[in-house]
Amino acid sequence: MYAIKKERLTKLSLALALLLLISISYVSYRSTIGFANSARLVDHTHLVIKQINQVLADVREAENAQRGYLITGDSTFLQPYDAVVTRLPDEMALLRDVLSDNLEQQVAISDLDELISKKMRILRLGIDTLAQRKGIDNSEVIALVGGEGKQLMYRISTQVDRMIALEESLLVQRAESLETGTRMTKRWILLGNLVAVVLLLTAFFVVLREIEEHRRTNRELEMSAAQLELTNKELESFSYSVSHDLRSPLRAIDGYSRIFEEDFADRLDEEGLRLLAVIRRSSKKMGQLIDDLLSFSRMGRKPVDAAPVDMNLLVDEVWQEVSLGHENVLLKKKALPNVFGDRALLRQVLLNLLSNAVKYSSNNQMPLVEIGAEKKEDEVIYSIRDNGVGFDMRFYNKLFGVFQRLHTEDEFPGTGVGLAIAQRVIVRHGGRIWADSKLGEYTVFYFSLPIKNVKEAI
């Protein structure tokens, strides 16, 4: 439970750090867009101010040109005036365009346009007056230059100053907004990075602790494996010792019983002969139990020598052996995919399962054994089905136990070790084994084996 909590803490810290980094990237992206927009607005404000000043400069240039013409009567002074008259509409149109996003400035430019139009008409009037009369005196020049024209120029300058002041106010606001946004962005990025670093450091230290715990666990596992290996060797030695010690008295019992039967058979009644037969049969069964127990023990120690196995050939080979004396049992075999495994160990599995199938279906008038397979993505599931006596699924948990039998010795002989050996071999191959049955109808054993070579499971 503690390890699960640490793993969750690590994942949570990494996820939060990643989320913060993504958030920081988003804030940086939005800030960059904001900076670009603010810079564009600042450039736009400078452009507006420049254009307003340009319009004012054009009007003043036209006014100075008219004054020079009125004072000197030299028409060359009208060239700047004519140039202003030509470009002023375009200048005003450009000014309207750059102020199209500001309603207050649109009203102001309408007023400015009206004042400039009046000013230009007055300038034109003075020029036309001089051209018609072929000369005017100084008092008339002063009257044309001053008066309403002078007032209009003052109003134009005032209106321009107001418009520029409004743009400069916008410029200050935008600069302050840009500065505030920059300051806030820096704070968020700094804070986010600090939190992300804390989370990453937390995950890092948790990972370091897990690595250290894994090392400690590996050391413990190595010690346990060494101890287990020593225990297995001791058990192996004990098994062989027990086997040898048990076999001697069993051979003696069987031998003396046989001698006793041969020498004193004529002195024994029927019951005595039966009891001698029971003694000899029991000693042989005990010897078979010892052999099976040793075989089961060896299956747990024998290394798995994995290689490609042709299951069709292997099944045919095993069937020839188990069907001897049971030629009435019909075999139906489908095409079987090849697998990776230890051929000798898998042969033992098939030998045990097929022997059981033949044995438990022998009482059927038409005994049938069916072998099939289903290929999955990374494994093959084999099935061995018989139409024998079946078993009660309520006792399924006893099926693969050592010396566990679901039928009596009188019904079907056996020691109850074969399925335990089959399970051990299949599990060591990284597979599974299970069964399904219906009493009096059928039994199906399934086992899975890897398609590709895998490391030994146990």
Tell me which residue range forms the domain holding 212.
1-301
The answer to whether position 455 is within a domain reads: no
pLDDT over 90 for what percent of the chain?
6
Q: Is the dihedral of CA 105, 111, 114, 120 positive or negative?
A: negative
| Residue 338 confidence (pLDDT) | 87
Same domain, yes or no, for 38 and 126? Answer: yes
Over residues 66-76, the pLDDT tens digits come to: 878 777 778 88
Q: How far is CA 269 from the centre of its chain?
A: 81
29 pLDDT band, cuts 50/70/90, is low
State residue 271 phi and psi, 5-degree precision: -70, -40
Over residues 198-229, the pLDDT tens digits come to: 766 776 676 777 787 778 877 777 777 666 56
Residue-wise DSSP of 89-146: HHHHHHHHHHTTT-HHHHHHHHHHHHHHHHHHHHHHHHHHHHHHHT---HHHHHHHHS
Same domain, yes or no, for 250 and 356? Answer: no
Q: Could you give the CA distance from residue 114 to residue 243 in angstroms, rounded to a whole number?
A: 124
The answer to whether position 54 is within a domain reads: yes
Over residues 255-292, the pLDDT tens digits come to: 767 776 777 767 777 777 777 777 776 666 566 556 65
User: How do beta strands 339-341 and 379-386 pair?
Assistant: unpaired
Same domain, yes or no, for 162 and 252? Answer: yes
Question: Which amino acid makes up residue 428?
Answer: R
The answer to whether position 456 is within a domain reads: no
Across the chain, mean pLDDT equals 77
Tokens of 430: 């990284």
State residue 124 phi and psi, 5-degree precision: -65, -35
Q: Are 416 and 405 in contact (CB under 8 A)?
A: yes
Same domain, yes or no, for 122 and 134? Answer: yes
The answer to which of 35-39, 388-392, 438-442 has the lowest mean pLDDT is 35-39
Q: How far is CA 178 from CA 27, 32, 169, 192, 197, in A?
A: 15, 11, 14, 21, 28
Three-class DSSP category at 435: strand
More confident residue, 27 or 322: 322
Over residues 167-206, the pLDDT tens digits come to: 888 888 877 777 777 777 777 777 767 776 776 677 667 6
Same domain, yes or no, for 320 and 297? Answer: no
Element housing 331 (H / E): strand 330-333
Helices 148-264 and 270-301 cross at an angle (nearest 10°) of 150
The last residue of one of the domains, among 253, 268, 301, is 301
Same domain, yes or no, for 309 and 284? Answer: no
User: How many angstroms separate the first and last alpha carbons of the chain?
Assistant: 25
Same domain, yes or no, for 280 and 311? Answer: no
State residue 403 phi and psi, 5-degree precision: 65, 20
Tokens of 26: 């988003």
Q: How far is CA 211 from CA 7, 34, 215, in A?
A: 12, 45, 6
445 pairs with which residues across the strands? 384, 435
The answer to whether position 60 is within a domain reads: yes
Any long-range contacts for 71-78 (C-beta under 8 Å, 24+ apart)? 71/141, 73/130, 73/135, 78/127
The answer to whether position 458 is within a domain reads: no
Same domain, yes or no, for 223 and 323? Answer: no
Any long-range contacts for 96-103 (C-beta under 8 Å, 24+ apart)? 98/44, 98/47, 98/48, 98/51, 99/48, 102/170
Nearest in space to 395 (alpha carbons), one of 427, 374, 378, 419 = 419
Give the domain CATH number at 335.
3.30.565.10
Three-class DSSP category at 377: coil
The last residue of one of the domains, among 260, 286, 301, is 301
Torsion angle defined by CA atoms of residues 309, 313, 317 and 320, in that order, rounded to the nearest 10 degrees? 150
Q: 446 pLDDT exceeds 90?
A: yes
Over residues 74-132, the pLDDT tens digits come to: 888 888 888 888 998 998 899 888 888 888 888 888 888 898 888 888 888 777 777 67
Same domain, yes or no, for 309 and 275? Answer: no
The answer to whether position 170 is within a domain reads: yes
- The pTM of this model reads 0.45
Over residues 379-422, the pLDDT tens digits come to: 899 999 998 888 878 877 877 765 555 555 555 565 667 778 88
Q: 251 pLDDT exceeds 80?
A: no
Q: Could you give the CA distance from residue 242 to residue 56 in angstroms, rounded to a whole number?
A: 120
The last residue of one of the domains, among 265, 286, 301, is 301
Number of domains in the chain: 2
Same domain, yes or no, for 227 and 104? Answer: yes
The answer to whether position 57 is within a domain reads: yes
The answer to whether position 384 is within a domain reads: yes
Q: Could you give the CA distance from residue 151 to residue 58 in angstroms, rounded to a whole number?
A: 17
State residue 430 phi and psi, 5-degree precision: 80, 20
Q: Is the dihedral of CA 129, 133, 138, 140 positive or negative?
A: negative
Element housing 309 (H / E): strand 307-309
Same domain, yes or no, for 266 and 326? Answer: no
C-alpha count within 13 angstroms, C-beta hemisphere, residue 74: 8
Q: Are 107 and 92 in contact (CB under 8 A)?
A: no
Same domain, yes or no, for 340 and 285? Answer: no
